[in-house]
Structure 1
Amino acid sequence: MEKTFYDEMELDPNDPNPWQALYLDKSIPFNNRAKMLFLQDAQSKSRQFLLPVIRPFARLCIVLFQLIKLVIPKKFTSPRLLHQILYWGMKTFVSPQANEMILRHFNIGSEILAFIKSNTSVDIEMNPLKPKNLLAVKDNLFLIHDLNLYNFIIRLNKELKEKNIRLQPPEKLNLDNISDDSLGIEPMPNRWTNFLDLTTAIEIFTPVYQLLLTDSDFWRASNSLQLDETIGIYAATILNSPQHLALLNNKHPLVPLSTISAGYRLILHGLSSEELHALLNRKKHAMASGGNDHNGI
């Protein structure tokens, strides 16, 4: 395994680096590259100084746009324009670390759904998203991601109900859909203007997302984050390891939260996805070596 900046960093007992501690800690399953990207992003100047200024204004915009949409609910909606703006913003202003994490999310999300399907006895239509560069954003990538999640849950449970069966651990676990470290994502734009961290970018884009989508689309996107618990339960049932549900942060989809905090919950959603994918990857490697990870660190 290639060593990173955090691996090479010397420990100063009187001034330990908190980011190094988080990187080296293996108590929570996490892809090494993804963790490095996330920590580099989290300690950026943009997140430290710009986010506290941007966040209250962004959340105020969400409230104002909601009021506007009460009067003219579909006046400004255009998913195509939304994704053109997202593509331009990501290409021009978002850091390469944040952009890679965003594209990683679509890839691993598709793999997690494929894992669940492949370990059931149902046959349902899938629409995997495997973007390798930012051009894929133009094809309504974010909107389709949300639609995929709801369609998957509806189709899966319809099939289970029709066949009068329930999710359960399979006789032989199928992890063929889970990729190793490399997802084939191309290098991201890295100009001087690409400085926005992931959290700040999400806070800025969320009001734009709300403005240019119908109220139904935005509500669905916001509340899909709480489906982390649903997907987590599916995976934990298949793996027969309910203890991993402790990793969940977004919960209780039957009690929708305010869209005000959608940006923050989106970060937690990304973390949960990375943790579950890393857990499945760890399980895959353990099975390939003929061993058992025993859910250890």
Structure 2
Amino acid sequence: MNRPRSAYLQALEFDNSLPIEPAAVRLWLKDLDNPLRWSVRPLLQFFFAILLHLIWFLKRLPLPQFSAHKTLQSTICWFCRNFVSVEANQLILRHFATESNLLNFLNDNMNTKIEPVDLYPKSIDDMQQATFVDHDQELFRVFRDMGLWQGEQAKQLDWTHWRSIRNEDFELTAKRTQGMDFESAHALFMCLFCLLLTREEYRDAINGFNLDQSIALRIGDLIGEPGLAEMAYNKYPHYLVGPWNLSQRFLMHGFFTEYLYARLEQIRTRTCGPESPRS
């Protein structure tokens, strides 16, 4: 942990070509410093990728379906509270907030007046109510209830339900046992998700990443920046995929929401000032 970072990682500290907040970069670089990421993670990902595909196959068989949302979320929260590093937990909490902001921004500026997304957990315990299942279902609800996209640039941007994200607002207590990096934790969680969701819920969850392109296209229209679509790694939502390459797709989904959040926060700060009414 005391070794100097490589030349490439040092360069990342100063590369702001893509919009991403310095606080998020610091968290990610510290997560990359975690030695478990380079030693344990490859073994975990290999083993659990095989296990995931076995569970996926069994779930596709014509057998009775079951789900256990409360068990799923309580297990994740227990594991995060006791074994996942503080930096990785902050990245998880940030992701809830960044995606909620993007969906609320779309809702506000389409003037659809549907129920805003209210998934902004500040602590691991908050995720017992603001769950990962809710996180997926709110994405699908917003797309369904907003209706068809008209593709128009907004005359004046509406930030009614926008919330600025500050790392110091998250309530996290470090324990000596918390040493697992972000990607290693996801390798453990992905099999649990597949097992404790119905096959339709899990299929929808892993394909929901592909709506990143749709979000980028819509926000790009609103702010007059069509190039935002290039920031979406996960694309083509009409083509349904399975769990292959899930770890990378999940990680790139997290980067995507950070990129778009940072770009919109730059615009909001420039037009409205540094303080958000809901920060």
Give the distance between the partners of 1:139 and 1:71, measured in 2 at CA. Answer: 31
Give the distance between the partners of 1:177 and 1:123, measured in 2 at CA. Answer: 11
- Out of 197, 203, 222, the position equivalent to 2:206 is 222
Matched, 1:198 2:193: no
Q: Does the Cα contact within 8 Å between 1:132 and 1:184 map onto a contact in 2?
A: no
Aligned to 2:37: 47
Matched, 1:32 2:40: no
Give the distance between the partners of 1:155 and 1:134, measured in 2 at CA. Answer: 29
CA deviations 1:111-164 (Å, max 9, x no partner) are 111111111132212332010100122226100000000110011116x6xxxx
Amino acid at match of 2:204: R
Aligned to 1:139: 129
Aligned to 2:241: 257
DSSP-derived class of the 2:203 partner: helix
What displacement does 1:225 show?
0.7
What percentage of residue pairs aligned between the two structures are identical? 25
Aligned to 1:97: 87
- Out of 203, 218, 221, the position equivalent to 1:234 is 218
Matched, 1:283 2:274: no
Give the distance between the partners of 2:111 and 2:172, measured in 1 at CA. Answer: 39
Give TM-score, length-normalised by structure 1: 0.85
DSSP-derived class of the 1:27 partner: coil
What displacement does 1:29 show?
0.6
**What are the equivalent positions in structure 2 for 1:81-230 lying under 5 Å apart?**
81-139=71-129, 141-157=131-147, 166-182=150-166, 185-230=169-214
Which of 224-233 and 173-182 deviates more? Answer: 173-182
CA deviations 1:80-113 (Å, max 9, x no partner) are 1111110111111111001011011111211111
Q: Does the Cα contact within 8 Å between 1:167 and 1:238 map onto a contact in 2?
A: yes
Amino acid at match of 1:208: L
Give the distance between the partners of 1:176 and 1:124, measured in 2 at CA. Answer: 13
DSSP-derived class of the 1:259 partner: coil
What displacement does 1:262 show?
2.0
Amino acid at match of 2:41: L
Give the distance between the partners of 1:183 and 1:232, measured in 2 at CA. Answer: 24
Matched, 1:74 2:88: no
Matched, 1:244 2:228: yes
Q: Does the Cα contact within 8 Å between 1:133 and 1:185 map onto a contact in 2?
A: no
Amino acid at match of 1:253: P
Amino acid at match of 2:9: W
Give the distance between the partners of 1:45 and 1:123, measured in 2 at CA. Answer: 47
Matched, 1:269 2:253: yes
Give the distance between the partners of 1:16 and 1:102, measured in 2 at CA. Answer: 25
Which structure is larger by alpha-carbon Rg, 1 or 2? 1
Any stretches of 5+ residues in structure 2 without a counterpart?
274-279
**Structure 1 residues 64, 168: closer, same or farther in 2, change over 3 A?**
same
What displacement does 1:273 show?
0.1
Matched, 1:63 2:53: yes
Q: How many residues align?
A: 269
DSSP-derived class of the 2:147 partner: helix
Q: Does the Cα contact within 8 Å between 1:178 and 1:277 map onto a contact in 2?
A: no
Amino acid at match of 2:109: N
Q: Does the Cα contact within 8 Å between 2:53 and 2:243 map onto a contact in 1?
A: no
CA deviations 1:229-252 (Å, max 9, x no partner) are 011111101011011222111111
Give the distance between the partners of 1:134 and 1:16, measured in 2 at CA. Answer: 32
What displacement does 1:176 show?
4.3
DSSP-derived class of the 2:30 partner: helix
Amino acid at match of 2:78: W
